[in-house]
Structure 1
Amino acid sequence: MRGRIKGKTLIARDEGDSTNGVVIKLYGEETNGAISIIEQPFEPGLLLPPHVHENDVWLYVLEGEMHVRVDDEVVKATDGCWVLKPRRIPHTMWNAGHEPARIVELYTPGGFELFFIDFEERLRQGPVGLDKMNLLGEPHGIRFFDDWIPDLKAAYNLRVVGE
């Protein structure tokens, strides 16, 4: 476990492990795998590649706005909104606004936060395409795909994370 304070009741605003802008606030191993929590900024025009994974994700928008597609449903979430991205259901998210967004994600079960550590290490080597993201994601139970990317990029003038 990197830099965490096991057994603490309070996790302060400035605490957590930062990895490529993502701040891991709570590791799954600290909750016996029940939940993990991250906080992250999300730049305008940024698209997370569509994907499926083996945990539920609750997204909470602290600031700004995020669009989320879950299967065929698209929602726009603003400050104070929660969005469920269920396990094994294709989904993606993007910031179509003009300002950065800041979000919190809760993963149940926990453990997915470790993907961000692996992703940061790989990103240091240069751009990361979907094939490489899938290699990174496999041990974390996530699979990326590109079916929606061309339409979303065109409709919202987006760029894909890792490009």
Structure 2
Amino acid sequence: MKDLVPGPATLEWAGTLYRVVLPASATNGAMSIVDSVSPPLSGPPLHMHHDADETFFVLTGAMDWVCGDRSGRAEAGEAVFIPRGTDHTFRVTADGPSRHLVMLTPGGFEGFFEDMARGQFRIPEDMEAITESAARHHLSFTGPPLGA
């Protein structure tokens, strides 16, 4: 598998690289897959996908995760399933980065990553724009990131 590097097919937002490998448009909306490389100690605020199940499959590195009342560490070769409507987040370990696949069923959430990369929004300065895109993609923020 090739390394994910910046280029025309790769999106970058807040130090994380994203490449949509299977868009919802290719699956009749059934699912989407995004290849992601996140830097050490990075991760999103606690959030919830209201309409989609999410699965992370860790290719390299490791991440600590929280899903509802469960938590753990996922290392290369391991997956974490997050049922829709469940608060969750992750944080890449200090010895990162972590490369992982983000799979959502149904698909469509890749549009959020596209919005963030296009706008280069900053947290917390641009939370109004981030929250607006999140709402359009059926996501709500429910708490701080791990380690905050």
Structure 1, unpaired ranges of 5+: 1-11, 155-163
Question: Shift of residue 29 of structure 1?
Answer: 1.1
2:50 paired with 1:50: no
Aligned to 2:23: 27
Aligned to 1:90: 87
CA RMSD of aligned residues (A): 2.0
Question: Shift of residue 13 of structure 1?
Answer: 4.5
Q: Distance in 1 between matches of 2:37 and 2:3?
A: 14
Q: Distance in 2 between matches of 1:30 and 1:13?
A: 22
2:144 paired with 1:153: no
Conserved? CA contact 1:27–1:111, under 8 Å: yes
Letter in 2 for 1:19: L
Q: How many residues align?
A: 138
Structure 2, unpaired ranges of 5+: none
Aligned to 1:17: 9
Conserved? CA contact 1:60–1:81, under 8 Å: yes
Question: How much identity, in percent, do the aligned residues show?
Answer: 29
2:61 paired with 1:61: no
Q: Distance in 2 between matches of 1:44 and 1:94?
A: 8
Q: Distance in 2 between matches of 1:13 and 1:108?
A: 25
| Structure 1 residues 80-128: Cα deviation after superposition (integer angstroms, max 9, x where no partner) | 00100111110001112312110001110011111110011221xx523
| Structure 1 residues 105-154: Cα deviation after superposition (integer angstroms, max 9, x where no partner) | 1110011111110011221xx523244321121111111132x44xx325
Aligned to 1:107: 104
Conserved? CA contact 2:54–2:84, under 8 Å: yes
Q: Distance in 1 between matches of 2:103 and 2:72?
A: 18
Between Structure 1 and Structure 2, the one with more helix by share is 1
Structure exhibiting the larger radius of gyration computed from Cα positions: 1
Give the TM-score normalised by structure 2.
Answer: 0.84
Give the TM-score normalised by structure 1.
Answer: 0.77
2:122 paired with 1:127: yes
